[in-house]
């Protein structure tokens, strides 16, 4: 079975209670873009490890236990005594659109590229079939940390590991746009698959047309999600446009729509699907996720798994 490494940061999530526009009650959970993707990958029966750093506090313990319960591997989680996870708060409007407020400047995850265990973590990347990280992952490290991580990813690719880069972009995480553009260029050049969106790239390259934004990404496979539920695909041998099916339920919360899309896309690719079928799977899962509050939907809400046909006696003896 293929093995995936998701790299990034999970934070404590405070989610505004429904109907609480004026403040008041919040529920506590955990979330982070690449962690959300890791959980959905595990729910889609992908063998996935989460690579990050946490503290030795009660909240960090709860996080690791929750990931393990979801089937996410935690053996690559570095524990840093005295440190804490970051915190973010979500507010959503009546259309399900969300605003984020972060407290993460001294979180444990930011130290992952500068601890005694860093070399072991980076060397382990060669043991995975696929590495997934996002622009948010890269934004939490300094220049030296980003260089160490991307160099390790490139080494792993030389041994056959595939690299998927998600352009999930938050301007407040970068010192300035020029730094972000330089880092994006390096990640684009190294990636086997880029999962991008108009919201992310127009924030970096304001006013550019879709074709110009896509031309900035030289990699062999590109999924470019538009502001509407449509993806433009570019892959070896062709291009395509994939539209999501119309929703028959109201949108409650768009948190993790892109993260769940990424998980379903990667899972489908690992199962042998082509880009078009993988994008269709991504849109289906994202369309389900936005109908529930928070980043991770209840397990019972996940779509039923496809049953695999049992092997025939002839196949079983091969």
The C-alpha angle with vertex 79 and arms to 76 and 83, in degrees rounded to 5, equals 140
Q: Quick one: which of 149, 75, 145 has its CA closest to 111?
A: 145
Known active-site residue 56: no
- Give the length of the chain: 318
| DSSP code for 191 | -
**Do strands 221-225 and 193-197 pair parallel, antiparallel, or not at all (unpaired)?**
parallel
Tokens 């980043």 identify what position?
Answer: 295
User: Do 149 and 49 form a contact (C-beta atoms < 8 A)?
Assistant: no
Tokens 């959980």 identify what position?
Answer: 39
212: CB partners within 8 A, 6+ apart: 205
Q: How far apart are CA 163 and CA 220, in angstroms?
A: 11
Sheet holding 26-31, edge to edge: 26-31, 11-16, 87-92, 98-103
DSSP-assigned beta bridge partners for residue 54? 79
Q: Quick one: which of 105, 4, 20, 9 has its CA closest to 53?
A: 9
Q: Quick one: which of 132, 121, 142, 157 has its CA closest to 262?
A: 132
Neighbouring CB atoms inside 10 A of 62's CB total 14
* Catalytic one of 33, 49, 253, 259: 259
Q: What is the DSSP string of 244-263?
A: PPPPSS-----TTHHHHHHH
Catalytic center residues: 259
């Amino acid at each position: 079975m293929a093995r995936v490494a998701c790299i990034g940061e999970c934070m404590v999530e405070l989610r505004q209670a429904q109907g609480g526009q004026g403040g008041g009650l919040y529920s506590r959970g955990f979330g982070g873009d690449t962690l959300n993707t890791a959980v959905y990958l595990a729910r889609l029966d992908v063998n996935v490890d989460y690579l990050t750093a946490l503290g030795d506090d009660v909240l960090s313990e709860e996080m690791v236990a929750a990931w393990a319960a979801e089937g996410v591997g935690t053996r690559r989680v570095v524990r840093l005594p005295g440190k804490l996870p970051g915190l973010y708060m979500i507010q959503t409007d009546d259309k399900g659109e969300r605003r984020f407020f972060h407290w993460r400047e001294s979180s444990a995850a930011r130290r992952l590229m500068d601890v005694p265990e860093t070399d072991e973590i980076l060397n382990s990347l060669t043991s995975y079939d696929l590495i997934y990280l996002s622009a948010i992952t890269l934004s939490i490290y300094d220049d030296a940390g980003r260089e160490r991580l991307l160099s390790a990813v490139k080494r792993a690719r030389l041994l056959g590991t595939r690299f998927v880069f998600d352009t999930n972009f938050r301007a407040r995480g970068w010192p300035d746009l020029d730094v972000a553009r330089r880092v994006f260029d390096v990640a684009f050049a190294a990636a086997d698959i880029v999962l991008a969106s108009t919201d992310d790239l127009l924030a970096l390259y304001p006013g550019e047309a879709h074709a110009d934004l896509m031309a900035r990404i030289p990699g062999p496979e590109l999924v470019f999600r538009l502001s509407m539920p449509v993806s433009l695909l570019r892959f070896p041998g062709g291009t395509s446009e994939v539209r999501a099916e119309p929703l028959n339920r109201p949108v409650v919360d768009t948190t993790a729509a892109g993260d769940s899309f990424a998980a379903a896309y990667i899972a489908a690719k690992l199962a042998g699907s082509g880009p078009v079928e993988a994008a269709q799977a991504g849109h289906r899962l994202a369309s389900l996720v936005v109908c529930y509050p928070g980043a991770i939907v209840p397990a019972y809400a996940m779509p039923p798994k496809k049953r695999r046909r049992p092997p025939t006696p002839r196949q079983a003896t091969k």
